[in-house]
Structure 1
Amino acid sequence: MTNCRNAHPLQVPTIPLNREVILQFFGAAVVGAVEWWFRNGMPVPPRVMAEQTGILLDRNL
């Protein structure tokens, strides 16, 4: 078992991730970003919000 506390800060631990946890995590992130966007009066245009959300998802999936 990998001890995450002693791992180098740039190393990604090789712990298998549960698919449902991943889906819930990213789903909550997207919903939270859209909620922020509406609550703050849509401070960026819809196209920018969609593009930036897509970029963030692409980088992390």
Structure 2
Amino acid sequence: MIFPLEQLVKYTDNIYEITVAANRRAYQMSMVQDPQIEENEDKVVSLAASQLFNNKVKMRLDQK
């Protein structure tokens, strides 16, 4: 799977936030060597974005 462009186009919230969340999730997955990376043929950023768009992972904004 490539980056989920259909879901990205339909996304109505802040596009910057979801992009940053996908990159941070991808970094997190690569640092802990998540087994899903090896199981899927996807790039890690595409996998992370897919998790966010499918609500398998929730993003949270911390207000400081």
TM-score w.r.t. length of structure 1: 0.43
Rg comparison, structure with higher value: 1
Greater length-normalized contact order (CA 8 Å, ≥ 6 residues apart): 2
TM-score w.r.t. length of structure 2: 0.41
- Higher normalized helix content (fraction of residues): 1
